[in-house]
Structure formats: C-alpha cells, structure tokens
C-alpha cells in the first residue's frame, strides 16, 4: 500500500511524457511488476500488457496456467486502476493502451473481457484509452463483430483490403526472433537490419504502429529499435527504459 501511495504521488507531480520522440514504452508482462499498472504509469509507459486466462467466470492474470492466482484478476489489477486514473485525470488527453493477451480459448475469453469492460463506461467512452486484444484472437474477418471499444493486435504483414477490418487493428506485432538473433550488444548485422526495417515499413504501409516482442531488453537494444523505427518499445523494465529513452537525445549527442 505504501508503494502504491508513493507511485500515485509521483504521478500527480509528473509531466506525463508519452509518445516521446515518436515512440512509446510498452510494459511487457506488466502484471509481473511489484506494483502492476501504477508502476508503468508512473514511469511514463503508455502501454501495458496483461496475459489473461478465463477460469470459470473469472478473468485471471497470469503467464501460464501454473501461475494462476485467484486473487489476481483483470478487474482488480487493470480495469479498476484504469478507471481511477481517468477519474483523477492522470491519463486525460494522453494515449494509453491496455493490451490484453488472451491465453485461454479466444471467443469465450473475449466475450468475458467485453462484459467486464462494459462495467466501466469511463473506459469505453475515453478518447485516450485503447483496449487491444492480443494472443488468442478471433479471425481477422470477425474483428468487426466486436464493439467499437475493442481493437486488435495484428500479427501479420499481409495486406488488409477491407477498410472496416483495418480500422479494428490498433497495431502490428511480431516476434523479433523471426528476423534476428541479435542479443542486444553491439549492432545487428546489416542483413538483419534490412529485415527489421522491411517489417517495420510493411506495418507502416498498413497505417499502423509496430511492436516487436521477444526483443533484447537493454539500453543498446532500446536505442537501436527506436532508431530503426519501432513505435512501441517492448520492455520488462519500464522505469529503466522510459528513463533512458526520455533522455535519448542527450544520451546520443556527439
């Protein structure tokens, strides 16, 4: 409780630096932080990720079934704090993304997610908040069957010719390991850089921001990915990543 109070005080006096220099910090597996949601928010991360299982009628937040804890549910860890943040103006006018990675069966879990979010009109009606479904998802052709407040993480570079489906896509995400084995030290090979840039350009051709998952998580990697054009920087260390990238221009000054 003391940690949470400290973070709320920190946020209240914090200039909420989002979309810094054209990129945003994504708190990957945010629920593993010692204070989920609030820590990322106070770090100026503008995207957080929660892995979700539908167990009975509950949406429980965990990476694997073995880690499921009935005390850690989506509403408690994310929807209620998000609604509270909107109420007190912490993210008012600032883009904020809650990426929900479905680990259980897609359709039933998504129906439960929709029902839960409907309890929070402030989230649904916010122009700042995006709810994005990742992991196990419906077919792309079915995206349009879901409410306006639900968008999707498109994990392909294939063209989308139906504009109504394209409008339901919030971002494009792919595994970094499909393009490079780079460990975050030195630089990627020139051949890997070409593959990385090509993927980013194809995503941007769809008119969508781009994210890699399974990236190296280091200062060198964060800086390189920003320079190559990645929009959402994936990290398990939101404080360190945001702190470094906020000072990127100073850090890279010759």
Q: Going by DSSP bridges, is the β-strand pair 58-61/47-55 parallel, antiparallel, or unpaired?
A: antiparallel
pLDDT at residue 6 is higher than 80: no
Q: What's the confidence (pLDDT) of residue 251?
A: 54
Mean pLDDT of the residues in the chain: 91
Instruction: Give DSSP secondary structure letters for 186-226.
Output: S---HHHHHHHHHHHHHHHHTT--EEEES---SHHHHHHHH
Q: What's the confidence (pLDDT) of residue 253?
A: 53
Average pLDDT (42-66) is 96
The pLDDT tens digits of the residues spanning 224-252 come to 999 999 999 999 999 999 999 988 755 55
How far apart (Å, rounded) are the C-alpha atoms in residues 147 and 168?
10
| Residue 144 three-state SS | helix
Domains and CATH numbers, the chain: 2-10+19-249 (3.20.20.190)
The pLDDT tens digits of the residues spanning 119-161 come to 999 999 999 999 999 999 999 999 999 999 999 999 999 999 9
The pLDDT tens digits of the residues spanning 179-188 come to 999 999 999 9
Contacts 24+ apart (CB under 8 A), 106-114: 106/136, 106/137, 106/138, 107/138, 108/54, 109/52, 109/53, 109/54, 109/59, 109/136, 110/137, 110/138, 110/146, 110/150, 112/54, 112/57, 112/59, 113/52, 113/59, 113/74, 113/150, 114/146, 114/147, 114/150
Q: What's the confidence (pLDDT) of residue 249?
A: 57
Average pLDDT (74-102) is 94
The alpha carbon dihedral of 17, 23, 25, 29 has a sign of positive
Identify whether the C-beta of residue 79 lies closer than 8 Å to the C-beta of residue 116. yes
The pLDDT tens digits of the residues spanning 104-122 come to 999 999 999 999 999 999 9
């Amino acid at each position: 409780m003391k940690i949470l109070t400290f973070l709320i005080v920190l946020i209240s006096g914090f200039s909420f630096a989002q979309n810094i220099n054209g990129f945003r910090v994504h708190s990957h597996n945010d629920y593993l932080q010692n204070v989920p949601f609030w820590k990322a928010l106070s770090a100026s991360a503008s995207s957080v990720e929660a892995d979700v299982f539908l167990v009975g009628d509950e949406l429980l937040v965990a990476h694997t079934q073995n880690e499921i804890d009935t005390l850690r549910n989506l509403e408690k860890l994310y929807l209620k704090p998000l609604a509270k943040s909107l109420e007190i103006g912490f993210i008012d006018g600032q883009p904020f993304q809650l990426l929900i990675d479905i680990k259980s069966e897609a359709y039933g879990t998504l129906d439960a997610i929709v029902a839960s979010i409907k309890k929070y009109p402030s989230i649904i009606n916010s122009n700042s908040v995006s709810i994005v479904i990742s992991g196990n998802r419906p077919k792309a052709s079915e995206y349009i069957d879901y409410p306006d407040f639900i968008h999707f993480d498109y994990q392909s570079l294939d063209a989308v010719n139906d504009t109504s489906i394209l409008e339901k896509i919030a971002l494009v995400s792919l595994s970094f390991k499909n393009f490079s084995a780079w460990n975050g030290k030195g630089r990627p090979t020139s051949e890997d850089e070409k593959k990385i840039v090509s993927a980013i350009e194809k995503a941007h051709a769809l008119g969508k921001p781009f994210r890699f998952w399974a990236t190296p998580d280091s200062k060198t990697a964060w800086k390189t990915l920003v320079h190559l054009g990645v929009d959402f920087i994936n990290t398990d260390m939101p404080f360190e990543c945001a702190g470094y990238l906020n000072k990127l221009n100073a850090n890279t000054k010759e």
